[in-house]
Amino acid sequence: MKKIDHIGIAVKDLASSNELFTKLFNKPPFHQEEVISEKLDVSFFDLGDTKVELMQAHTPESKVYKYLEKKGEGIHHVCFEVENIEAEMERLKSEGFQPLTEKPYIGALNKRVCFFHPKTTNGILIELCQKMK
């Protein structure tokens, strides 16, 4: 793993959260998009070596919607950047970590992503991401 890429925060209202975090960081988000596969709207704040991602669910079918219903707003996941996502997935699986998908898929910022179950990572949802080549 290279570094923490971003910290994902589940929010109920992206517009008001963007305002709040703009005041907190003293700058607006650098990127916003809809992640159709995850039924989310997201925004990203650049903090130099890492980013903060705010996520608002579109529908009750979204995993983030279910997370908000169960736990409320707050830190949803920590994402680590990797060089080779398939190799890192295999390494982590061999160490006993449980992936939530068998293969990476395209996530926000057009990166390849995968997640590991929090039951195998001390209660923290872990995401891996790899920049597209």
- State the Cα–Cα distance between residues 71 and 48, nearest whole angstrom: 29
Torsion over CA: 67, 70, 74, 78 (sign): negative
Q: What is the pTM of this model?
A: 0.94
Q: What pLDDT was estimated at residue 103?
A: 96
- Residues 111-121: pLDDT tens digits? 999 999 999 99
Considering its fold, how many domains does the chain have in total?
Answer: 1
- Residues 67-101: pLDDT tens digits? 999 999 999 999 999 999 999 999 999 999 999 99
Q: What phi and psi, each to the nearest 5 degrees, are found at residue 119?
A: -65, -20
* CATH number, domain with residue 32: 3.10.180.10
Q: What pLDDT was estimated at residue 27?
A: 98
- State the Cα–Cα distance between residues 42 and 53, nearest whole angstrom: 7
Domain around 50: 3-130
Question: How many residues make up the chain in this entry?
Answer: 133
Q: Which amino acid, 22?
A: T
For residue 122, give the 3-state DSSP assignment: coil
Three-state secondary structure string covering 15-53: HHHHHHHHHHHCCCCCEEEEEHHHCEEEEEEECCCCEEE
- State the Cα–Cα distance between residues 69 and 52, nearest whole angstrom: 21
For the cut 80, the answer to whether the pLDDT of residue 133 exceeds it is no
Torsion over CA: 106, 108, 109, 113 (sign): negative
Q: What pLDDT was estimated at residue 113?
A: 97
- Residues 9-65: pLDDT tens digits? 999 999 999 999 999 999 999 999 999 989 999 999 999 999 999 999 999 999 999
Q: What pLDDT was estimated at residue 14?
A: 98
Question: What band does 8 get if pLDDT is binned at 50, 70 and 90?
Answer: very high
